[in-house]
Chain A
Amino acid sequence: MIPRHARAIALSLLPVISLPAGAAPSGWRQLNLPVGVTSISRDAYDLHMLAIYVCILIGIAVFGAMIYAMINFRKSKGAVADRTLTHSTKAEVIWTAIPAFILIFLAWQTVPALIHIEDTRDSDMTIRITGYQWKWHYEYMGEGVSFYSALGERSNTARQRNAALRPAEVDHYLLEVDEVLVLPVGAKIRYLISANDVIHAWWVPELGIKRDAIPGFINEGWFRIDQPGTYRGQCAELCGKDHGFMPIVVEALPPEEFAAWLAARRPAAQAALASSQP
């Protein structure tokens, strides 16, 4: 969504400035916004990096001027104040106009990405997400498949005060659930999101999605996952005592595997499974 030349400007700055986009996942990447696996998350990442570079350039100019003044106009070095320098229409016009142009540039980069986010047309499937204190409920619309997804057992044990199990001993501590949300790769997935009690927010950084789940409202959005994998997130809106303990885990499967998974979870398949067991 970000025009190519803007990316080129950003990329040309990369060697000069740290926070490289392509660093190892264990290094700087974990300290920066994830690039993610949807067009929405990549747009957010590109805008984020562009804004950082713009801020760094402005920072060099502004902080540079401040530091220059602090070094060169010290009384201890014999500087004498120029008490006539109290106004300059030219300078003031310049430093009002330049930020205005920078902001117009940023806005021009941002608007298409925002319009893209809101375009929920032509979706391939719809899921319904409902927030509860303190778990999520997922429903595959029209498939008859739905389930709750709560904090995983081992995390739930380790997060108690004076627990015998230590957080360090739990894989994906606080970011694991009992039932993961399984979704297909490549499909345009529309989500409808609401809540049953208080406001929650469904946030998966690598999908670039954060949307409030509000009782009495149904919010709508979409994403299309490009790569198979497991993506973890958390509730982002304070929702009571266990707000920190209602994570989200999305497992993205290739379409065929997803279809097989969904078929096995359909009520008919579940009933057959139940009756085949004595």
Chain B
Amino acid sequence: MSDTTHHGPPTGIRRWLFTTNHKDIGTLYLVFSLVMLFVGGAMAMIIRLELFQPGLQFVNPEFFNQMTTLHALVMVFGMIMPAFAGFANWMVPLMIGAPDMALPRLNNFSFWILPFAALMLVSTLFMPGGGPASGWTLYPPLVLQTGDAFPFVIFSVHLLGISSILAAINIIVTIMNMRTPDMPLLKMPLFVWTWLITAYLLILVMPVLAGAVTMLFTDQFFGTSFFQAAGGGDPVLFQHIFWFFGHPEVYIIILPSFGIISQIIPTFSRKPLFGHDSMVYATASIAFLSCIVWAHHMFTVGMPLAGQLYFMLSTMLIAIPTGVKIFNWTATMWRGSLSFETPMLFAIAFLFLFTFGGFSGVMMALTPADIQYHDSYFIVAHFHYVLVPGAMFAAIAGVYYWLPKWTGHMYDERLGKIHFWLSAISVNLTFFPQHFVGLAGMPRRIPDYALQFADLNAFMSIGGFLFGLSQLLFLWGVVRCMRGIGDKATDRVWEGAQGLEWEVPSPAPYHTFDTPPVVK
């Protein structure tokens, strides 16, 4: 990556601290995300260890609740969002023929907020009273019982939000202003499109989250009663505000995944994406609908009938544009010439398992049934299906897909395939049985359970440990490429690859597209 043309970057730590280069910052985001994957993963392992058998063997309920809370916050804000920000930094300028991001210093700032915010969040575990234990949703009044950690949690959520907003502004400005003149909006690759829409969602909803946690903060320290019933406040108001952020948030996570999958499937089908424009419109429809369905997370709070009907019916609508995407990907493979390298394997697993997660999503839209599913392990199964073999597999697929372009070296295909099969099997061993224990009556976020859930929980824990260990193969594969081990990658890397990023050498030089490229 230090292959420079006219001036070199500083070396050592100063290069990474002061860099304004989109490729360096992309690498920083991705490495940070990989570290947080193992931090959040370790917390998941503690959760599965305690749930391996009935009874409490390893941790106290207080600590268990801190683990479920921080596992979610670390994975959402520390792992998956920075991973996609890393992809955006590396790939958006390369895909649109821009020399760099539009606002490089802001770019450096938005990354370097992250490690400190994450460190502050994780450090709350060592404070008197422990870390936050109210679930990642931070519902009051429970969250107000957090110990000394409370203001640190609020502040780290603020910082993580600021980082995301700044990154989103940068991405929008870059896409709107720095495309090569040959590239009208509808000619942009789908990854760029999904990120453009995601960035607008981020700017819309992250300030709402900041507002919600600020209100928690003033309730705790400045005597306000936004959410405290004793002072005339309304605990449910928080849930409305939180989920007005929280539902678009899940699409903030999944839309860039859609983008990555929309790049990979055409490459390995050796065929252009089916229905490019309808994919763009479907993405925009999903983004719009995601903003008007939030209270389907709250069917048990006691909403008026009209409210429940509205949120049920509007939620069901999301299935239509999402279906369009699934069908378009399938049609892209149709009459293609398919090969199954590791990125394609992960993309196909995404296709199957995200669709599967979508099925349980449709089931949960049906309010009378959702009242049974709500806050049970069924919902845990649902959102892990859309987030792990959904978003995370898309990110892994993207890493294998672009790693040769980033490092100039091919990953080890055999290692990649072993990683894929172990991950794809163990992810189902872990999360598939959660549907059943949930339906049978196991609530989420409990450290101990009734005996009828024991067998399946032991099974899930074994699947979870296997899934966790499998990711060490991923780490090994990535580190090998970064250290320059492996075959030299060609410029095009994949036979069927199309797009500007494959026109530059591998590894991509430190500065690319000093003059706007011509789109063929």
Q: A residues engaging B (CB < 8 A)?
A: 30-34, 40-41, 43-44, 47-48, 51-52, 54-55, 58-59, 62-63, 65-66, 69-70, 73-76, 79-83, 85-88, 91-92, 95-96, 99-100, 103, 106-107, 110-111, 113-115, 117-118, 158-161, 163, 166-168, 172-175, 197-199, 201, 203, 205, 208-212, 214-217, 219-220, 233-245
Q: Of B50-58, B380-388, B389-397, B505-513, which binds chain A?
A: B50-58
Q: How many A-B residue pairs have CB under 8 A?
A: 277
Q: Is the CB of B368 within 8 A of A44?
A: yes
Please state if A85 and B335 are interface contacts (CB–CB under 8 Å). yes
Give which listed residue, B62, B272, B301, B348, contacts A86 with CB less than 8 A: B272
A198-B145, A211-B300, A211-B302 as given contacts; A159 in contact with B235, CB under 8 Å: no
Q: A31-B440, A70-B333, A216-B235 are in contact. Are A107 and B339 (CB under 8 A)?
A: no
B336 touches A81 (CB 8 A): yes
Among B142, B326, B436, B452, which residue has its beta carbon within 8 angstroms of that of A199? B142
7 A-B pairs with least C-beta separation: A216-B229, A244-B446, A219-B302, A31-B436, A82-B335, A55-B359, A81-B337
List residues of chain A with CB within 8 A of the CB of B33.
none
Nearest CB of A to B300, in Å? 5
B275: contacting residue among A92, A113, A205, A237, CB under 8 A? A92
Which residues from chain B contact A239 at a C-beta distance below 8 Å? 142
Contact indicator A83/B271 (Cβ below 8 Å): yes
What are 24 inter-chain pairs, A to B, with CB distance below 8 A? A32-B436, A34-B440, A44-B371, A47-B369, A52-B363, A66-B330, A85-B334, A86-B273, A158-B55, A161-B56, A203-B443, A205-B441, A208-B371, A211-B302, A212-B300, A215-B141, A215-B230, A216-B230, A234-B441, A237-B375, A240-B65, A240-B145, A244-B61, A244-B443
Q: Is B75 an interface residue (CB 8 A)?
A: no
> Which residues does chain B contribute within 8 Å of A79, judged by CB atoms?
335-338
Known contacts A92-B324, A111-B309, A243-B65; decide if A236 and B376 are in contact (CB<8 Å): yes
* Known contacts A70-B333, A237-B375: A244-B355 contact under CB 8 Å: no
Partner of B338, one of A55, A69, A198, A236: A69
B13 at the interface (CB under 8 A from A): no
- B240 beta carbon closer than 8 Å to chain A: no
Known contacts A63-B352, A69-B334: A110-B366 contact under CB 8 Å: yes
Q: B135-146 toward A: CB 8 Å interface, digit per residue (1/0)?
A: 100010110010
Across-interface contacts of A91 in B (CB, < 8 A):
327, 331
Which residues of chain B have C-beta atoms less than 8 A from A95's C-beta? 323-324, 327
Residues of chain A within 8 A of B274, CB atoms compared: 85-87
Question: Which residues of the other chain, B, contact A245 by a CB distance below 8 angstroms?
Answer: 61, 448
A215–B235 touching, CB < 8 Å: yes
**B residues lining the A interface (CB < 8 Å):** 54-57, 60-62, 65, 133-135, 139, 141-142, 145, 229-230, 233-236, 269-276, 278, 300-302, 305, 308-309, 312-313, 316-317, 319-320, 323-324, 326-328, 330-331, 333-340, 348, 351-352, 355-356, 359, 362-363, 366-369, 371-372, 374-376, 436-437, 439-441, 443-452, 496
User: Do residues B372 and A44 form an inter-chain contact, with CB atoms below 8 A?
Assistant: yes
Q: Is B56 touching A159 in the complex (CB atoms < 8 A)?
A: yes
B305 to chain A, nearest CB (A): 5
Q: Once the chains bind, are A74 and B339 in contact (CB under 8 Å)?
A: yes
Partner of A117, one of B356, B368, B446, B450: B368
Least CB distance, B337 to chain A, in whole angstroms? 4
Please give, as numbers and ranges, the residues of chain A lying within 8 Å of B230 by CB-CB distance.
215-216
CB distance from B372 to the nearest CB of A (A): 5
> For residue B449, which residue of chain A has the nearest CB?
A174
Q: Which residues of B contact A110 (CB under 8 A)?
A: 312, 366-368
Closest to B305 in A: A118
Q: For the complex formed, measure the closest distance between the CB of B374 and the CB atoms of chain A, giving whole angstroms.
A: 6
CA distance A161 to B359 in the complex (A): 39
**B134: chain A residues within 8 A (beta carbon):** 238
| Nearest-neighbor residue (CB-CB) of B142 within chain A | A198
For the complex formed, measure the closest distance between the CB of A53 and the CB atoms of chain B, giving whole angstroms.
Answer: 11
Find out whether the CB atom of A106 lies under 8 angstroms from the CB atom of B351.
Answer: no
Are the CB atoms of B446 and A243 closer together than 8 Å?
Answer: yes
Residue numbers in A under 8 Å from B335 (CB-CB): 73, 79, 81-82, 85
Contact A76 B339 (CB under 8 A): yes
Residues of A within 8 A of B333 (CB): 66, 69-70, 73
Considering the chains assembled together, what is the distance between the CA atoms of A159 and B377 in angstroms? 21
Contacts A95-B324, A214-B302, A215-B235 hold; do A62 and B367 have CB atoms under 8 A apart?
A: no
**Are B450 and A173 in contact, CB atoms less than 8 angstroms apart?**
yes
User: B320: which A residues are within 8 A, CB to CB?
Assistant: 96, 99-100, 103
Known contacts: A32-B436, A114-B309. The answer to whether A65 contacts B371 by CB under 8 A is no
What's the least CB distance linking B245 to chain A, in Å?
19
Which residue of the partner chain A has the closest CB to B333? A69
Within the complex, the shortest CB–CB distance from B515 to chain A, in Å, comes to 30
User: Given known contacts A32-B439, A205-B372, is B450 in contact with A172 (CB within 8 Å)?
Assistant: yes
The reply to whether B368 and A31 contact each other, CB–CB distance below 8 Å, is no
User: Residues of A contacting B56 with CB < 8 Å?
Assistant: 159-161
Known: A158-B55, A208-B371. A241 touches B133 (CB 8 A): yes
Q: 9 extra interchain contacts, Cβ-Cβ under 8 A, other than A74-B338, A83-B270?
A: A34-B440, A47-B366, A48-B363, A75-B270, A79-B338, A86-B275, A214-B236, A234-B446, A236-B375
Q: Are B275 and A73 in contact (CB under 8 A)?
A: no
Residues of A within 8 A of B326 (CB): 62
Asked whether A103 lies within 8 Å of B316 as measured between CB atoms, the reply is yes
List residues of chain B with CB within 8 A of the CB of A199: 139, 141-142, 235
Determine the chain A residues whose CB is within 8 A of the CB of B437 once the complex forms.
31
A51 and B338 contacting across the interface, CB-CB below 8 Å: no
Please give, as numbers and ranges, the residues of chain A lying within 8 Å of B371 by CB-CB distance.
Answer: 44, 117, 208-210
User: Is B372 within 8 A of A210, CB to CB?
Assistant: yes
Decide: B65 and A70 in contact? CB cutoff 8 A.
no
For residue B73, give the distance in angstroms from its CB to the closest CB of chain A: 14
**Most chain B C-beta atoms within 10 Å of own C-beta, residue among A81, A160, A175:** A81
Question: How far is A201 from B369 in the complex, measured between Cα atoms in Å?
Answer: 16
Q: CA–CA, A30 to B440, complex, Å?
A: 6
Chain B residues with CB under 8 A of A54: 362
**CA of A203 to CA of B55, assembled, Å:** 22
In the complex, the answer to whether B235 meets A63 with C-beta atoms within 8 Å is: no
Contacts of B355 in A (CB 8 A): 59, 62-63
A66 near B300 with CB under 8 A, answer no
Residues on the A chain within 8 Å of B139, using CB = 199, 237-238
The answer to whether B300 and A201 touch across the interface, beta carbons within 8 angstroms, is yes
Taken together as a complex, chains A and B put the C-alpha atoms of A76 and B338 apart, in Å, by: 8
Contacts of B363 in A (CB 8 A): 48, 51-52, 55
Q: Give the Cβ gap from B186 to chain A, nearest Cβ, in Å.
A: 13
Complex-state Cα separation, A234 to B338, whole angstroms: 50
In Å, the complex CA distance between A217 and B302 comes to: 9
Task: Looking at the assembled complex, report how far the CB atom of B329 sits from the nearest CB atom of chain A, in whole angstroms.
Answer: 8
Q: How far is the CB of A249 from chain B (nearest CB, A)?
A: 12
Residues in chain A near residue B450, CB distance under 8 A: 172-175
A62 vs B336: C-alpha distance when bound (angstroms)? 17
Residue of chain A at shortest CB distance from B53: A167
With a cutoff of 8 Å between Cβ atoms, the chain A residues found around residue B305 in the complex are 114-115, 118
